[in-house]
């Protein structure tokens, strides 16, 4: 059983600096991607692909 994540809340925490990165596993990607594309500040967040399909999202420095 997988635990549902509140991706909007996690993206807001990332933007606010409450967390420094957001890790998304390959199994979560499709669900996360639709929310990420609708997120207002997505252009300020960059994802880095890792081995095994994991993606680490971080805020882009100005």
Cβ proximity of 22 and 57 under 8 Å? yes
DSSP bridge partners of 23:
56
Q: Record the pTM.
A: 0.88
Reported as a single tens digit per residue, the pLDDT across 39-48 is 999 999 999 9
The predicted model gives 36-59 an average pLDDT of 97
Give φ, ψ of 46 to 5 degrees: -120, 135
Domain map (residue ranges) of the chain: 7-59
């Amino acid at each position: 059983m997988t635990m549902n994540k509140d991706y909007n809340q996690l993206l807001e925490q990332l933007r606010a600096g409450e967390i420094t990165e957001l890790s998304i596993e390959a199994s979560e990607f499709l669900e996360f991607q639709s929310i990420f594309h609708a997120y207002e500040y997505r252009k300020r967040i960059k994802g880095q692909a890792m081995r095994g399909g994991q993606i680490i999202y971080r805020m882009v420095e100005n």
